[in-house]
Structure 1
Amino acid sequence: MKRVKLGGSDVEVSEICLGTMTFGNQTPEAEAHRQMDIALDAGMTFMDVAEMYPVNPVRRETIGVSEQIIGNWLARTGNRDRVEIATKITGPSQILRDGRPYDGATVRECIDASLARLQTDRIDLYQLHWPVRGSWAFRQNWRYDPSGQDKARTLDHMADVLEALHEAVRAGKLRAIGLSNESAWGTARWCDVADRTGAPRMAAIQNEYSPLYRLFDTDLAETVVNEDLTLLSYSTLAAGLLTGKYAGGAMPEGSRASVDKASGGQGNLGGRKTAAGMAAAQDYVDLAAEHGWDVVHMATAWQLTRPFKVVPIIGATTVPQLTHLIEGLGRELPEDLVRGIDRLHRAHPLPY
């Protein structure tokens, strides 16, 4: 599998990343370890996790379990030098730290906690999961209100956090740092503050991105090109909506929507499962079929056609799902299919 560098850092990773957010919930530990074995055999050395995982739902009693599962795999296999591990500190959350935002001191504590759970002495990419000032991610863009933000306080916070991250980089605990669910303005400011203080620059930003959700394509795309960050794209299949398995109102047993509903949620895939989203997803399924492609493989390959650096994160609940995803890697989309995706994007702009 092709290797790429994250932003301006010296961290080299596989061009596809394995997502692990279901490890310890929908995906039992033995199956999670099997997924990591299969991914590594396919050349997929880059694996992404977070202190709050597993999700769907997030529960206080399972915080950190996904990291522990990865740590157990690393200890059992001795594969630490063969893989790159990314993890994240969670932003304001009532489940973690009683809603307190992270600062430099919290970052120091959480890095050490993640290192212990992962059973390693270093993290290849450490990400800030949410901006403490708020975010428009996860459908919050429809009523986003930044009017209460305090710029001076935000810049002071960035300097404090970057000092802690810089300290960890110097100590060899971190190799590179990144963002998640950030905006163009926030990304640029993190870079500015790093330059002013001599701290490491952000190498990556992990935001949602798929043919159905393309808020990244304008201001953020310009920002990462000019500031040299790599997009780690999550929900590349729109939480399963792009597989077509929810067509006609179906709710397959064990699917993300059904698990969420059984846990007391709405089962709407985090706001993605709308009438417009369902219609758009079906059009993409049909487009792929017309060109002889599996829609899952088309959506993943499309990520690598973008005019900025992208490492798609692919996640699977089960081994067969992961195997199916891997079967489509390494194929390039024909130009007429890329144009077809562009046409559908104009027909279905931001369908959820």
Structure 2
Amino acid sequence: MDYAHLGRSGLLVSRIGLGTMNFGDATDEAEAFDVMDRAVELGVNFFDSADVYGGPQTPDMEKGFGTSEEIIGNWLTKSGRRDEIVLATKAYQPMGLGPNDRRLSAYHLKRACEASLRRLQTDHIDLYQMHHVDRATPWDEIWQAMDQLVTEGKITYVGSSNFAGWDIATAQARADARHTLGLVSEQSLYNLTNRAIEQELIPSLRYHGVGLIPWSPLAMGVLAGRPKGEQRTVRRAALSEQFAALSDQLGAYETFCDELGHSPAEIAQAWLLHQPAVSTLIAGSRTVAQLEAAVDALSIDLDTDALAALDRIWPGPGEAPQSYAW
């Protein structure tokens, strides 16, 4: 396993991180335990969750609420491996039907963190991430709440998710004014089919020393390639429209992957690992086999010609303002 600093922090995280959104939903507890055991064996030390993962991600459902964190907590208690992993989770989404059971107010952050700690059966969260930007809450209030959680030893680092470039800049400006570390990571949608963040978010992350954690590296399965044979009955029918819309690009991509001797999924993840801003990528593995396949991407070396070929198939937008102005 390879490791990298999470942004400008001194924290080292595995280049492949384990995403646990499927735990409690597509992956039951027994299989989730197998996946986490294997992750540690492979050297994966970054485990990512969120308070809403494990079900429909809405508080008015009878089940599936916070299940991912509960499964991780059960595994931590059984395995005794808490100190072997960097534990990350998130807050923002509705965790109840009350008006303050969501978003990033100091009121909610305190309660959301304490509830996650109970479900995770631990006394601290290594990386506490804001699941979405909340422009209705002042940054001084957010940072005061986060600083308090750090002081109490409940969290160590703070990260963001689904922020725009100017949100990163604003957050860091207020953190600097308070003489605190601020953000060390941003978790964002990023893959070969969706490179929008290259325009403004990645330059902002680079300037502020914030590490990028891409989610959906396979574009919800599109970059695993078009299903063949028996796979047609396994892969979700919901992807059929995307396969049709991207037919020409996928054809060229699959041919290129065949020439390299690797699967489309492996190349998609290897490409992300070659991007300088990326600290670790989220492999939302439902099974041990999927996790092992993600780790295999670490061994793939894409040279300059290969990266240029992928840029021709899946062109990026370029950096602003040069991407749209002289």
TM-score, normalisation: structure 2: 0.88
Distance 2:25 2:276 in 1: 36
- Residue of 191, 194, 198 corresponding to 1:213: 194
Contact 1:241–1:278 (8 Å) recurs in 2: no
Distance 1:230 1:97 in 2: 34
How does 1:163-202 map onto structure 2 within 5 Å?
Answer: 163-202=144-183
* 1:280-324 CA distance string (max 9 Å, x none): 334322211122221111111111211324311112222222222
Gaps in structure 1 of 5+ consecutive residues = 134-153, 259-266
Report the counterpart of residue 42 of structure 2 in structure 1. Answer: 42
Contact 2:211–2:279 (8 Å) recurs in 1: yes
Contact 1:11–1:124 (8 Å) recurs in 2: no
- Residue of 285, 289, 294 corresponding to 1:320: 289
* 1:81-111 CA distance string (max 9 Å, x none): 00111100024x4976567533011001111
Deviation at 1:171, TM superposition (A): 1.4
Does residue 1:291 correspond to 2:260, yes or no? yes
Q: Which residue type is aligned with residue 168 of structure 2? A: T
Deviation at 1:348, TM superposition (A): 10
Contact 2:16–2:294 (8 Å) recurs in 1: no
Does residue 1:126 correspond to 2:128, yes or no? yes
1:101 counterpart SS class = coil
Distance change >3 Å, CA 280–CA 247, structure 1 → 2: farther
Gaps in structure 2 of 5+ consecutive residues = 319-326
* Range with greater deviation from structure 2 (124-133 or 78-87): 124-133
Distance 2:187 2:96 in 1: 22
1:110 counterpart SS class = helix
Distance change >3 Å, CA 35–CA 15, structure 1 → 2: same
Distance 1:111 1:177 in 2: 12
Count of residue pairs brought into register by the alignment: 313
Contact 1:181–1:207 (8 Å) recurs in 2: yes
* 1:256-278 CA distance string (max 9 Å, x none): x35xxxxxxxx359xx8363335
Report the counterpart of residue 230 of structure 1 in structure 2. Answer: 211
Deviation at 1:174, TM superposition (A): 0.8
Does residue 1:308 correspond to 2:289, yes or no? no
Distance 2:150 2:95 in 1: 29
Q: Which residue type is aligned with residue 167 of structure 1? A: Q
Distance 1:97 1:309 in 2: 37
Distance 1:4 1:131 in 2: 26
TM-score, normalisation: structure 1: 0.82
Contact 2:16–2:295 (8 Å) recurs in 1: no
Distance 2:316 2:160 in 1: 31
Contact 1:17–1:312 (8 Å) recurs in 2: yes
Q: Percent identity?
A: 33
Deviation at 1:119, TM superposition (A): 0.7
